[in-house]
Amino acid sequence: MAIVDDMVCFSLYSASRATTRAYTELLAPWQLTYTQYLVLVSLWTEGDKPVREIGEMLQLDSGTLSPLLRRLEQKGFIERRRNGQDSRVVNVSLTPAGTSLRKDLAHIPAQIACGTGLPDMQSAKALLATLHRITTSMQEIPAAEQPSRK
């Protein structure tokens, strides 16, 4: 066993890469990326959203999010429209094709859940709680001061 196998950070990184790879393979027939899928899931479950909220939820900056949304729009799954009351706000909504895609992709969560190897929903919820705590704690760590070079 390599030394990195005993590092929590490497295990998180490795699990994240494996999960993303699994999603990539499952989403390939629809030519969707994992982050595009996450946008669709958000819209399926929560309805229309402003671009800003999608970016905050997925922790993506506008330079990453805008091209992602443009590709989903080009595929005919979403529409972006300026808010009539505030033209600075762009709302994202599903098209009929984006709504019907939900049925085509309904099998993916179960396949991913099976792939985790977790024995039951209670284990999954415990893992989620731990991951949320880690995320929150890591986001609270201040940036380390860089030593000055002389």
Structure confidence by residue, pLDDT tens digits, 41-83: 999 999 999 999 999 999 999 899 999 999 999 999 999 999 8
Listed as ranges, residues in the chain with pLDDT below 70 are 144-150
Of the candidate CATH numbers 1.10.3720.10, 3.20.20.70, 1.10.1740.10, 1.10.10.10, the domain formed by 16-102 belongs to: 1.10.10.10
Q: Please report the pLDDT score of residue 105 as a whole number.
A: 98
Amino acid identity, position 96: P
Q: How far apart are CA 39 and CA 78, in angstroms?
A: 10
To the nearest 10°, the Cα dihedral for 17, 19, 21, 23? Answer: -150
Residues with Cβ within 8 Å of residue 49, at least 6 apart in sequence = 42, 43, 57, 91, 92
Q: Please report the pLDDT score of residue 139 as a whole number.
A: 86
Closest CA to 68 of 18, 59, 25: 59
Q: Please report the pLDDT score of residue 106 as a whole number.
A: 97
CB 39 within 8 A of CB 58: yes
Q: Where do runs of H (alpha helix) occur along 47-120? A: 51-58, 62-74, 96-104, 108-116
Question: Taking the model in full, what pTM does it have?
Answer: 0.85
* Token reading at 69: 């949304």
Closest CA to 94 of 115, 74, 80, 109: 80
CB 57 within 8 A of CB 82: no
